[in-house]
A and B are shown apart, each in its own frame.
Chain A
Amino acid sequence: MTTLSPTTSPLIQGNQIPRKRLYGIMAEFHDPAALMAAADKVRLAGFRWWDCHTPFPVHGLDQAMGIKRTILPVLVFGAGLTGTTIGFCLQAFTNAASFSIWALVWVTGYPFLISGKPLISLPAFIPVMFELAILLSALSAVGIMFLFNGLPRWNHPLLSNKRFLRVTDDRFFIVIESRDPRFFASRTEQFLKDLGAKTVEMVEA
């Protein structure tokens, strides 16, 4: 990554195609308040392919960016129901069924008569059903979250930017990607500068 100073860079003159592909323009802020105000304006300017990067979740930034609520909880609820069902079927089959099913190999249930309880003794099955519901929900909450976030992804244009390293420390960034239809290098750069960014910098792809 070479740092391209905005004024001398050939990159932004007349929005010509750069020698290296441009990932986007990155604006740096020093505190959450400035970032929030800027994010509000970026959203109002109609950008779509842009993001804020912060060391910690900033309260209210979702609204400022206009992020829609994720459907994650609905999917996790589904996973919980699946876990409960698996828990019930597992116990009912292994301890109460006398037929065979194919689960990678042929397996046969065993009707287990113990302490005079009915074969399908639901109260005794509840702990395992509950635990499997929790297990599947928790794993899917995390799995789906990372999937939707596109993580793990170990290579990213931003990760090779020196200045961006401080995003996990104490700096706040707005990045507008070049694939945004409203992106126009010189104009977008000026736009970000006008938002009060401390530095504005091109990020190569």
Chain B
Amino acid sequence: MSSLPVNRQTALPGFQESDNTAENPGVRAPLVLNMNRFGQVTRQVCQVAESKKPPFAWYAAFTISLSLVGLLGFCVNYLIFTGVGVWGLNNPVMWAFDITNFVFWVGIGHAGTLISAILFLFRQKWRTGINRFAEAMTIFAVICAGLFPGIHVGRVWLAYWLFPIPNQMDMWPQFRSPLLWDVFAVGTYFTVSFVFWFVGMVPDLATLRDRATGRIQQFAYGLFALGWRGSNRHWHRYERAYLLLAALSTPLVLSVHSVVSFDFAVSQVPGWHTTIFPPYFVAGAIFSGFAMVVTLAVPARQLFGLKDLITLRHLDNMNKIILVTGCMVGYAYSMEFFIAWYSGAMYEGFAFINRAFGQYWWAYWIMVSCNVITPQLFWFKRIRTSIPIMFALCLVVNIGMWFERFVIIVTSLANDFLPTSWDFFTPTWVDMGTMLGAFGLFGTLFLLFCRYLPMIAIAEVKATMPQANPHWSGYAAHDGHGHAGDNSGGWAKPSFASPDALRSPGSGPDGGPSAP
């Protein structure tokens, strides 16, 4: 069986993308296509890290990302050496691009934790195809997020004042401030996400270690695999710990964006001081995060030949989540407006009318059309399963969610209580450069991750294959049917769901390698 060739899309002439999105009650849709051996999964994932050279597109993307990192470095240094005046901030608008980017990136991270933790608790097995790189995305997004508050404090060299470090001045942080809660929330979020990601990766790093041929690879993967040898006594505690991490990350991820929303909601500024903010921010974070996962998954599966592991069904499921959370966000937008009127608070009412029809009307309507209107297209299955359309729609959502944070932050500040102090925020080139640079940093880290680490949770994907079930009838019964590499084609056929096939997988007319 080890002699079977790796089933790569490119290797099969005239290969059409397998469609596993059909709903067939009684039969679980396959999550791994065109493969029925564990070894095939291993090879398909490992070939990315083991190939001598990544595809050309990788080099192109890496060059662009790395030059944007250069731009980021320049902008940040220019800011530090000159002062925050190089940004377009002015007296009422003291938060603008910096905090917009911070909230945007923290939000992006939330999809990764949702996939790894919440979908795990709900036993959604399709998460295994996407959780690893979604978690990586979380970590890199939180790194980008952490950059912005760090540089916007002004005197960057005093950023350690954020932490309760004993000092000769006996000066402590003020723990009743939401900004300090943010330090703890985002710090904890980064640490726990990182640990979660790393722990999940240990068995897969062991796979890379055991397959490595070069000394450097053997050493590097071996070092971080921590000597993992798949012992079941280890797996037992490992699974417990993983479950605990998922159970801990679930309230954590909800708390993080709630705390981020407290930065606004706890203040008195009209347009910020609303109780709907925590759930609204969390829904928005998941919405934008999933859009980013799809944005990254579509090119990654194409580029590295992972279409059998990140299948159309995975993308379809994610698009459904985008639709749901997009509706939640739309509900929050309308509810904010309703409460602004219903509360009878004059300033609140003005803030919202001003948002939609004031000096930033365009930003507001970009936000509404990108986040509420266009995602409605995902009601149609043809759109949810069309790669180019979903990619375009997810880019639109990314843009819309960036504008949402901009609208919340800047429109509320620019026109606050005193009309005499009203002003208009215009970004400078440093604002723009830092924002683009953060995308470059994110891209660079993500591309390095794709190149050198297992992009898909190999062990977890194997565990979701029907062959992993000890009660599965075994290869011997199927080999005779000549069904190797055919566990997707037949599953949707009506005959497959015949009671006979369901009762005893393996004896059905289709051979049944894909029966759960």
Contact = CB atoms under 8 A, between A and B. Distances in A.
15 contacts: A32-B469, A53-B230, A56-B468, A76-B244, A112-B174, A117-B176, A131-B184, A138-B248, A139-B191, A145-B199, A149-B234, A149-B238, A154-B223, A165-B211, A168-B459
Given A90-B164, A112-B174, A135-B188, A170 B474 contact: no
Contact of B232 (A65, A117, A132): A65
Interface stretch (B20-28, B93-101, B202-210, B382-390): B202-210
Given A55-B462, A138-B249, A154-B223, A127 B240 contact: no
A110 interface: yes
B417 interface: no
Contacts of B469: 32, 59
Contacts of A95: 172, 174-176
A154 B170 CA distance: 45
A78 interface: no
Contact of A168 (B172, B203, B235, B472): B203
A67 B174 contact: no
Shortest 7 CB-CB distances between A and B: which pairs? A152-B226, A170-B38, A145-B241, A94-B172, A127-B181, A168-B207, A52-B232
B236 interface: yes
Interface in B450-507: 458-460, 462-463, 467-472, 474-475
A33 B476 CA distance: 12
Contacts of B53: none
Contacts of B178: 127
Contacts of A121: 176
A59 B37 CA distance: 18
Nearest to B204: A168
Contact of B251 (A67, A125, A134): A134
Contacts of B187: 131, 135
Interface of A: 30-33, 35-36, 51-62, 65, 67, 69-70, 72-73, 76, 90-91, 94-95, 103-105, 107-110, 112, 114-115, 117, 121, 124-125, 127-128, 130-132, 134-135, 137-139, 141-142, 144-146, 148-149, 151-156, 158-159, 164-170
A165 B42 CA distance: 13
Contacts, number: 227
B191 A94 contact: no
Contacts of A168: 42, 203, 206-207, 209-211, 228, 230, 459
Nearest to B459: A56
Given A56-B463, A141-B241, A131 B468 contact: no
Contact of B191 (A103, A114, A135): A135
Contacts of A146: 226
Contact of A151 (B42, B181, B188, B228): B228
Nearest to A127: B181
A156 B227 contact: yes
A51 B230 CA distance: 10
Contacts of A69: 240
A122 B465 CA distance: 49
B229 A115 contact: no
B358 interface: no
A31 B474 contact: yes
A109 B174 CA distance: 12
Interface of B: 1-2, 37-39, 42, 164, 166, 170-176, 178, 180-181, 184-185, 187-188, 191-192, 195-196, 199, 203, 206-207, 209-211, 222-223, 226-241, 244-245, 248-249, 251-252, 255, 259, 262, 458-460, 462-463, 467-472, 474-475
B188 A169 contact: no
A85 to B, nearest CB: 15
Nearest to A68: B236
Nearest to A112: B174
B39 A170 contact: yes
Given A56-B463, A155-B227, A127 B259 contact: yes
Given A59-B463, A138-B244, A165-B210, 17 more contacts: A32-B469, A56-B460, A57-B236, A61-B470, A65-B233, A67-B232, A67-B233, A70-B236, A107-B170, A110-B171, A112-B172, A131-B181, A131-B185, A135-B187, A141-B244, A153-B226, A167-B210
A35 B231 CA distance: 13
A164 B38 CA distance: 16
A171 to B, nearest CB: 9
A38 to B, nearest CB: 11
A135 B471 CA distance: 39
A30 to B, nearest CB: 8
B175 A128 contact: yes
B198 to A, nearest CB: 8
A166 B46 CA distance: 14
A51 B474 CA distance: 23
Nearest to B252: A134
Nearest to B226: A152
B39 to A, nearest CB: 4
A55 B175 contact: no
B491 to A, nearest CB: 21
Contact of B227 (A107, A139, A151): A151
A187 to B, nearest CB: 24
Contacts of B175: 91, 94-95, 112, 124-125, 128
A138 B250 CA distance: 12
Contacts of B181: 127-128, 131
Contacts of B185: 127, 131
> Which one of B175, B240, B471 has the highest number of Cβ atoms from chain A below 10 Å of its Cβ?
B175
Given A130-B255, A142-B245, A151 B39 contact: no
A142 to B, nearest CB: 5
A169 B227 contact: no
Given A36-B470, A103-B166, A110-B170, A151 B241 contact: no
Contact of B222 (A54, A57, A61, A154): A154
A136 to B, nearest CB: 10
B231 A52 contact: yes
Contact of B238 (A36, A135, A145): A145
